[in-house]
Amino acid sequence: MRGARATDLLLAISGFVVWSAAFSAVYAVFSLGCWLGWDRVGIGPTSLQKIATAIVWLAFILLGGVVVWLARQRVRQGLEPVKPFLGVLLPAANLAALAATIITGLPILLASSCH
């Protein structure tokens, strides 16, 4: 069993750092797509803009999943001196951030583009 490390607190907030980066990147790509006219480029039943923003969103969901996995791995290593606090905080905070990433990105799939 290992004790708590200084990086454990960084891991506790990593999910929300990923969420904030995802929020900024997804809506930046969405706005860029409007500016460049991607909403008028049809690809199958959707547009280039929705595909581009969905790819960015899914990449950040994947990254958030990796952070959750890392948090769970850290808890499995053992956090004996800190009692159960970090054992609950690490996965819970990162799962909440992953949920926030999913929920805040949903409008890009549902909203009409640029108009």
The tens digit of pLDDT for each residue in 6-41 reads 788 888 899 999 999 999 999 999 999 999 999 899
Provide the domain count of the chain.
1
Instruction: Flag whether 1 is in a domain.
Output: no
Instruction: Flag whether 78 is in a domain.
Output: yes
- How crowded is residue 58: how many other Cβ atoms within 10 Å of its Cβ? 14
As a whole-number percent, the residues of the chain with pLDDT over 90 amount to 58
- What pLDDT does residue 1 have? 43
Residue recorded with tokens 């004996």:
80
Instruction: Flag whether 76 is in a domain.
Output: yes
Model confidence at 68, pLDDT cuts 50, 70, 90, reads very high
pTM (two decimals): 0.87
- How crowded is residue 45: how many other Cβ atoms within 10 Å of its Cβ? 6
Instruction: Flag whether 115 is in a domain.
Output: no
Instruction: Flag whether 63 is in a domain.
Output: yes
Supply the range of the domain harboring residue 76. Answer: 6-110
